[in-house]
A and B are shown apart, each in its own frame.
Chain A
Amino acid sequence: MLELDDDDAAVEKLPTGMPSFDIIAKGGLPKNRTTLVSGTAGSGKTVFAMQFLAAGIRDSGERGVFVTFEESARDIRKNMRSFGWDLAQWERDGLLAFVDASPDPHIETVVSGSFDLGALLARVEYAVKKVGATRVAVDSIGAIFSQFADQSVVRRELFRIAAGLKELGTTAVLTAERVDDYGPIARFGVEEFIADNVMILRNALGDETRRRTLEIVKFRGTDHQKGEFPFTIATDGGVVAIPLSAMQLSQKSSNVRVSSGNKELDAMCGGGFFQDSVTLISGATGTGKTLSVAQFLNGAGEGERCLLLAFEESREQLFRNAIGWGVDFEQLERDGRLKVVCDYPDIAGLEDWLVNIQAIIREFKPKRVALDSLSALERIGTVKAFREFVLGMTSFIKHQEITGLFTATTASLMGGTSITETHISTLTDSIILLRYVEMFGEMKRGLTVLKMRGSIHDKGIREFEIDGTGMHLGGRFKNVSGILSGHPVHLSPADLERAWSEFDTQMGRRETAASAPGSERRTGGERRRPT
């Protein structure tokens, strides 16, 4: 009776101790089931399998058995040191046991007649009972196919081992190789039938960069998030998945305004940026993006820390330029109010950057984060990876109630939009454009607040100047149109008059058509004329 009751219960999930993975798996791996983790060479299967055991040992006092068919236990102990997992110590403490079934090149074996893998099964059972393991990792079942010529025997025996692991009450992760990142689930075509659940790790090459993703294909009898989720393998945490959908859901929204570091800009933005918002500043080179960043960081309140992620200029260059605008980064750093991370974007993949940056933010706990520039990061990954990076950054920043300022560089000097902008404009809350405006043989600079979610803002294109104390906003550009398109057209006062009277006539006609007195509207139009 008791057994029947147990079977009736819904599939229980075992939190793996990998928080980001558990979100995607909606609670963890199905308990007392076998899960196949399939992936191409270098996709992180062994790390995932070992991390599953390590998390159990470290976080929930669950013991583990690692069955290896491929690498020797010695190699694995060595390789996993880089993740901070001291396997040898765990083995000594009786928390972990290896079943080393890796091929031994010194032993020559001949086959004569029929056989089974009873000895292997006996060894696995022995190890599980010896340490009292509830988690088992088998890496990789494809390798055992290559150890024995008779594949039907191996297949039969793997089924027996999978059944045996369930009988022992363990939750198991079995890894398997795939030939292609997009193709059959595993090499021998039978692996997916051995396990209850199937997930795939990918390390696909696109646009000369590798991108790791994790996908749960099936969880028998229980739910999971669908699709591919980017992940990275961090040296201090192993597999770190990036569950974007989960991050989006948890965004808050506040009405608290913070200063952009420039009073005039604050006024244009209806009182400043929202505290948990992300603003994108887009402009051509030299329009004042980095200056805006410097002011933004300098504008932080007393005791508030700021983080600057600089991917375009060297530290020295950055600091020198900031001094030129009256902002002393060096002093701010000495006071512990600023942390500057200055690096070549190419040293890591976008997923790695995201995880690294999040770790820095968690540790430093800044109230403001500036990133200069997104365009530099965009070059190192695919469009999809870049979007995910920005989405991951914005949701993380907002979740932590941090104010974010990102910059994007436009390709053309005059007008135009940057590719960065097009890809991420919907992800940011506010967009500020900085543009060059050619006027009578002189390059002037213009600023406009293009959008600001949840707030009224000045719609004008304002001229600004840069001097030793920073950015100074002036009045609107008069008698010029077409600034944003990059083709400014200068209008004489006569042209303007004509344009406005045309407008009035049109309005008047519409009003008449609607059988309403047009005179009032006309004067309304008159009032709007620039003086």
Chain B
Amino acid sequence: MAGSSPRATAAVENLRRICEQELHGQYELEVIDVMLHPELAEQEKVLATPTLIKQLPPPLRRVIGDLSDSEQVLLGLELRQVIQPPLPTEN
């Protein structure tokens, strides 16, 4: 995130809530301020803030925004299986 904007604060709060609910506290979260550590943003090739990078478990996934849409976050991080609609049966 960039600085301590309301958007950044909201993103952290939203993420903690999601993680508590879905992962039952089994997570590790590192918050980086790109204003203080632009070299890390450069290294990770991040453009948008806030950006959530899921490093483990693989695959590597990114979600950008204040994470207000929990469903999108879970889909983006591939922490929830998408319920596939049944395939149409062949006649």
The answer to whether A binds B is yes
Partner among B60, B62, B65 whose Cβ is within 8 Å of the Cβ of A113: B65
With a cutoff of 8 Å between Cβ atoms, the chain A residues found around residue B65 in the complex are 111-115
Q: Which of under 10, 10 to 19, 20 to 34, or 35 or more describes the interface residues of A?
A: 20 to 34
A109 to B53, CA, bound (A): 9
Would you call A112 and B76 a contact (CB within 8 A)?
yes
Q: Write the nearest CB–CB distance from B8 to chain A, whole angstroms.
A: 9
A206 to B62, CA, bound (A): 47
Would you call A109 and B62 a contact (CB within 8 A)?
yes
Encode A220-264 as 1/0 by CB contact (under 8 A) with B.
000000000000000000000000000000000000000000000
Partner among B42, B63, B73 whose Cβ is within 8 Å of the Cβ of A123: B42
Q: A99-B42, A114-B7 are in contact. Are A119 and B34 (CB under 8 A)?
A: yes
The tally of CB-CB contacts under 8 A between chains A and B is 104
Encode A85-117 as 1/0 by CB contact (under 8 A) with B.
000000000000001110010011111111111
Encode A115-127 as 1/0 by CB contact (under 8 A) with B.
1111111110111
Q: A148 contacts the other chain (Cβ, under 8 Å)? A: yes
Encode B61-76 as 1/0 by CB contact (under 8 A) with A.
1111111111011011
Would you call A113 and B3 a contact (CB within 8 A)?
no
Number of B residues near A (Cβ < 8 Å) is 36
A123 to B45, CA, bound (A): 9
Residues facing A in B1-18 (CB within 8 A) are 1-3, 7, 10-11, 14
A116-B48, A118-B48, A127-B42 are known contacts; what are 17 more A-B pairs with Cβ within 8 Å? Answer: A100-B45, A101-B45, A104-B45, A109-B62, A112-B65, A112-B69, A112-B70, A113-B69, A116-B7, A117-B48, A118-B49, A119-B34, A119-B41, A120-B48, A123-B46, A126-B39, A126-B42
**Which residues of B are at the interface with A, using a C-beta cutoff of 8 A?**
1-3, 7, 10-11, 14, 34-35, 38-39, 41-42, 45-51, 59-70, 72-73, 75-76
10 shortest interchain CB distances as A-B pairs: A118-B2, A110-B76, A126-B38, A113-B65, A113-B68, A118-B49, A113-B66, A112-B72, A122-B38, A122-B34
